[in-house]
Structure 1
Amino acid sequence: MTDTLMEADTKSASHYIAKQIEDNRSLIAAIGSKVRQYAPKFVMLVGRGSSDNAAVFAKYLIEIEAGVATFSAAPSVASVYGKTLALEGAMVLIISHSGQSPDIIAQAEMARNAGAYSVALTSEVEGPLKHLVDDIIPLHIGQEQGVTATKSLLATLTGLLQLTSSWTGNQELTAAVASLPTILQEATHAPANLRVEQLQGVTNLVVLGRGLGFAVAKEVALKLKEVCAIHAEAVSSAEFRHGCAALVAQDIKVIDVCISDESYLNHLEQLEHLLQCETPLVHLNQVLTGVHPRVAPLALLQRFYIDIAKISTQLGANPDEPEGLSKVMKTC
């Protein structure tokens, strides 16, 4: 049974992502060819909120698969400080579901004037970004009914995967992307990965992940804040011992985001300290086995969104009307 718009949006993601992959196939092939010819010296990522979490995913993905240095921009540099960066030879990826936020638009305009090759991933293909970027990758998600981003984030990650596989010519990754609609459907019907009793009475927690799992951890922490009003901080498990480990002495709860990729064993090594301290630990495990490690994070998020929507209502909140949040957050 589906009780919330957030859950309904999430469960529809596989349908829209199948359409996205098919409808964007020739466009992505053309952009991938263009990127290979352009051979960017580095990639700059622009996004806010869930889109910024997608940017963290993109950083790991592009550096792992394409070997090109990638970093997240500070949009205020253009919108507030009025500065122009030296971006000649750069590719700029602008990630914005709405394409409406003034600081994102300012950053896109700055990137264009600075001579970068810019690509936007957005649902609003006729919005302001249309005239500021070289190419647009439409997300094709239809209307997202809920306020908090779910299927738009999954579609954004799909677009990043599809672009990267085309750019690098990685046929294994291309096949993995093609399998995403099926994988998301399977994750939808997988057993719950998070339960309300694990979050009852919790007001502060830490979410740990490593690599692509860290990008997921950031999104998990954001949703805990948005729809459950739980203060959550996402930390790379590699950084946890540098300060945050002191929180363990305060019996703070930790959520562990576990992705079975090349970082898995290193991540487990960092968790050993928590186990020795008998820290309250909640595992968000990879919900499906035998899937490509670059698409596994999407399956985990698909299941998490469904779980957290239910938990939000069980905690007495409304995930469809989170306090202080609107569909388009216009940051200057």
Structure 2
Amino acid sequence: MTDATTHLRTEIGQQAEVIGRLVEASGPLRERMRATFAATDIDHVMLVARGSSDNVARYGQYLLGITCRLPVSLATPSLQSIYGVAPRLDRSLVVAISQSGRSPDVVGVLASGREQGRPTIAITNEPASPLAAVADHVIDLAAGEERAVAATKTYTSSLVAMALLAVALGDPAEAPKRLRDLAELPEVVEAVLAATPVELADRLVDTRHLLVTGRGLNYATAFEAALKIRELTGTVAEAFSPPDLLHGPIAALEAGAAALVIAPTEPSVASQRELVPVLRERGALLAIISADQDLLQAAALPFPLVREPAPWLTPVTSILPAQLLAARLASVRGMDLDRPTGLTKVTETR
């Protein structure tokens, strides 16, 4: 089986179309959400998700903090589902992210927000799901059926949904520019997918432990890249921010180990520039996703971002080479790209 004939590879290739459709259809919903926010006391955003959607929430933590100057926290669903304690959500906007909308613990947090009279939003690919039923507003990804277990088009479209939420919640004066940025995304996605040198992934065929780094807006990208590589290839992939890595875990990095550095053009790239010499000194095989020519020249496996969106949207495109890398590596190892061993498409956690 080759990656070119799988549902996964097809769905990776559909991402530009899905993103374009979502942005084009978003106008009426953005206005309804803006009206709700203007009439509501919101001083805080609570995000709840699992799996790949949790990485969308990590993006939301930074994005909403940057664009709306709001404190953003990730919910702890087990407080409610295991310990029976619902947190007070005074003055909070509660946002749940789930491609299936069927995980009971995620639904429970959103339902608690609604019971407490707080505005609730569901980001989901299933507008008839239990999650959507307890939301005041539903951002329907409309990505079409995702048949591969590993999320690709629902992940990037969820990132775009979070970006649309930031537009609705943020300064109205900035909205026209941000919408222009979003409208350019499909072309950028197509360019990055077409130009990624996937064959470089073959050099990682014997790698069993991979370090992945990202920071700021792309901290989420590091976690999602590690998850895709781990679930598709069985590689033990771990994500860190550069500061966290340097505070101890780097001690386990031995010569011959591999590292994937995610460094698109946004303010956090400075940390990656400082980290790369340290990784090289420790003998790591470096794969780097970036548009920075100096960083790419330092890489054994350079994955150039031939086009980039506005900095606030870089997580949408910086994950694309990692998706392709994971798919190629799984294919070379002879693994089933659509149904990784022991995984299912929907995981209903409680």
If the TM-score is normalised by the length of the shorter chain, which range does it land in?
over 0.9
Give the distance between the partners of 2:32 and 2:199, measured in 1 at CA.
40
Q: Which of 257, 261, 281 matches 1:276?
A: 281
Aligned to 1:254: 259
SS of structure 1 residue aligned to 2:127: coil
Say if 1:288 and 1:165 are closer, same or farther in 2 by CA, change over 3 A: farther
Note if contact 2:101-2:132 (Cα within 8 Å) is conserved in structure 1: no
Say if 1:32 and 1:270 are closer, same or farther in 2 by CA, change over 3 A: farther
Q: Which of 215, 233, 236 matches 1:228?
A: 233
CA deviations on 1:286-329 (whole Å, 9 max, x unpaired) are 41345311222212223332332122111111110101111110
SS of structure 2 residue aligned to 1:238: helix
Deviates more, 1:41-50 or 1:307-316: 307-316
Give the distance between the partners of 1:102 and 1:179, measured in 2 at CA.
36
Note if contact 1:193-1:284 (Cα within 8 Å) is conserved in structure 2: no
Aligned to 2:34: 32
Aligned to 1:181: 186
The letter of the residue matching 2:278 is H
Aligned to 1:107: 109
What is the CA-CA distance between 1:193 and the residue it aligns to? 5.7
The equivalences for 1:14-29 within 5 A come to 14-29=16-31
Say if 1:290 and 1:280 are closer, same or farther in 2 by CA, change over 3 A: closer
Note if contact 1:89-1:115 (Cα within 8 Å) is conserved in structure 2: no
SS of structure 1 residue aligned to 2:79: helix
Note the aligned Cα RMSD (angstroms).
1.7
Give the distance between the partners of 1:163 and 1:22, measured in 2 at CA.
14
Q: Which of 263, 287, 306 matches 1:288?
A: 306
SS of structure 2 residue aligned to 1:55: helix
SS of structure 1 residue aligned to 2:243: coil
Note if contact 1:227-1:309 (Cα within 8 Å) is conserved in structure 2: yes
What is the CA-CA distance between 1:248 and the residue it aligns to? 2.1
Give the distance between the partners of 1:217 and 1:194, measured in 2 at CA.
21
Aligned to 1:320: 338
What is the CA-CA distance between 1:48 and the residue it aligns to? 0.4
Give the distance between the partners of 1:112 and 1:28, measured in 2 at CA.
20
2:206 corresponds to 1:201: yes
The letter of the residue matching 2:277 is E
Give the distance between the partners of 1:148 and 1:260, measured in 2 at CA.
27
Q: Which of 244, 267, 280 matches 1:239?
A: 244
What is the CA-CA distance between 1:90 and the residue it aligns to? 0.1
The letter of the residue matching 2:37 is V
Provide TM-score, normalisation by structure 1. Answer: 0.95
Q: Which of 146, 160, 163 matches 2:162?
A: 160
CA deviations on 1:202-223 (whole Å, 9 max, x unpaired) are 1112101111121101000001
Note if contact 2:263-2:288 (Cα within 8 Å) is conserved in structure 1: yes
What is the CA-CA distance between 1:194 and the residue it aligns to? 6.8
Say if 1:288 and 1:10 are closer, same or farther in 2 by CA, change over 3 A: same
Note if contact 2:198-2:324 (Cα within 8 Å) is conserved in structure 1: no
